[in-house]
Amino acid sequence: MLPALVFIALAAFTAALLGSPAAGRASVLHLILAVGAMPLIFGAMGHFIPVLTRTRGAPARLGAVPVLALAGGVLVVAALSLPGMPWGRHAGAFVAATAAAALLAWSWRRRIGMLGRPHPGLAWYQAALACLVFALLAILASAVWPEQWPALRRLHLHLNTLGFIGMTAFGTLTVLMPTVTGKPDPGAALRLRRDFPLAVAGTLLVAAGAAWFAPLAAVGAVLWAIPPVRLAANWLRLYRTEVFRLHGAAPLLAAALAGFVLSLLYGAAALSPVGLVPVWIYVAGFLPPLVTGAASQLLPVWLRPGVQNAWHARLRGALGRYGGVRAVLFCIGGAVAGTGREWGLLLGAATLLWFIVQAVAALVHATILQKEHTP
């Protein structure tokens, strides 16, 4: 299921970025965020939550949650693209909120059932899911308070981009970089615990501020910027060599962190009329390096769980080949797209296509190798 979700996400990102000049902005964004990212995040959480709570793997029935989320995402994209389907917005929000609430409830049961304290990354995932539930409730609430629609829309978009995806990404990046580089980050758990209130307060202030009182949003953006800047300083100290390499997932994870900080900066700057489009740097300069970097590391484990051997290492090497070049291209594409220039989005799409082709070739090669070595 997880490898399929990775490819659905990559295909949705590429199609959306390629079609962006022609299609409507909201439908393009939801193809990336609700069809591509949301189901993949749910699937990944199903993989990570048992690790964070030191409990057994997720049951097979949890696989229904990303599928439900995907259905919600498809509904909203259809509603935003096709005439005569306004009900699809609320139906999509209801379906996706049900999936998010089910995953949140399951994570709570895991937390209550475990021995000892959970890894602090769990709180980041749970807060992320809670933000998504509230973001979708904001869409549903617009049926009752249509006069509040502009504010509810802004609440929805910030709770989702900074809360749901932002908090998931930050928690994941913090624990993934040490795995990717094979070098521990001894302060990671402590920092996650200390930074958690900043990210929660930052998200809520930006969301409520953008909806009702702009100055609060600027304060929130400053608070939210502290954890990633601290993480970046830490990575430069611990992983400088790996981050500036030609190959591997580390440069992509670093690019994703940079893309997130830049989205916050562009978002704060966009409060004044300077023509920046923070959401385009978010979808071209933050999500693509995040997903391709995480996929380069995790696809081999998700394809063949259990003991890791030379097959996994070889596939990981093939997926991460020229990761450093892609990281630079995503950074350029994101920064340019964020200034409203279309070619930044197209550069992001071309770089994603490059990764998809490389990943398919690597998987075909790995499958052939596996067959040759199976007696």
Q: Does 160 bind ligand HEM (CB under 6 A)?
A: yes
Residues touching ligand HEM, count (CB under 6 A): 23
Q: Does 26 bind ligand HEM (CB under 6 A)?
A: yes
- Residue (72 or 348) nearer to ligand HEM, CB: 72
Hey, CA dihedral for 328, 329, 332, 333, is it positive or negative?
A: negative
Contact 291, 40 (CB under 8 A): yes
Distance CA 293, CA 275 (A): 30
CA 28 from centroid of its chain's CA atoms: 16
- Residue (24 or 305) nearer to ligand HEM, CB: 24
For the bound state, the minimum distance from the C-beta of residue 155 to ligand HEM, rounded and expressed in Å, comes to 10
Q: Which of 25, 109, 240, 365 binds ligand HEM (CB under 6 A)?
A: 25
Q: Which of 45, 49, 155, 157 binds ligand HEM (CB under 6 A)?
A: 157
Q: Which residues ranging from 78 to 97 are in contact with ligand HEM (CB under 6 A)?
A: 89, 92-93, 96
What would the DSSP string read from start to end of 247-307?
Answer: SSSHHHHHHHHHHHHHHHHHHHHTTSSS---HHHHIIIIIHHHHHHHHHHHHHHHHHS-SS
Distance CA 216, CA 166 (A): 19
Q: Does 100 bind ligand HEM (CB under 6 A)?
A: no
Q: Which residues ranging from 268 to 287 are in contact with ligand HEM (CB under 6 A)?
A: 279
Q: Which of 45, 76, 231, 336 binds ligand HEM (CB under 6 A)?
A: 76
In 3D space, the residue among 39, 133, 139 whose CA is nearest the CA of residue 86 turns out to be: 139
As given in the structure block, the two tokens for residue 140 are: 């549903």
Contact region for ligand HEM (CB under 6 A) — 29-37, 105-113, 350-358, 360-368?
Answer: 29-37
Contact 217, 211 (CB under 8 A): no
Q: Does 65 bind ligand HEM (CB under 6 A)?
A: no
- Residue (72 or 121) nearer to ligand HEM, CB: 72
Contact 60, 46 (CB under 8 A): no
Q: Does 29 bind ligand HEM (CB under 6 A)?
A: yes
Q: Which of 5, 8, 18, 38 binds ligand HEM (CB under 6 A)?
A: 38
Distance CA 34, CA 27 (A): 10
Residues in touch with ligand HEM (CB under 6 A): 25-26, 29-30, 33-34, 38, 72-73, 76, 89, 92-93, 96, 136, 139, 153, 156-157, 160-161, 165, 279
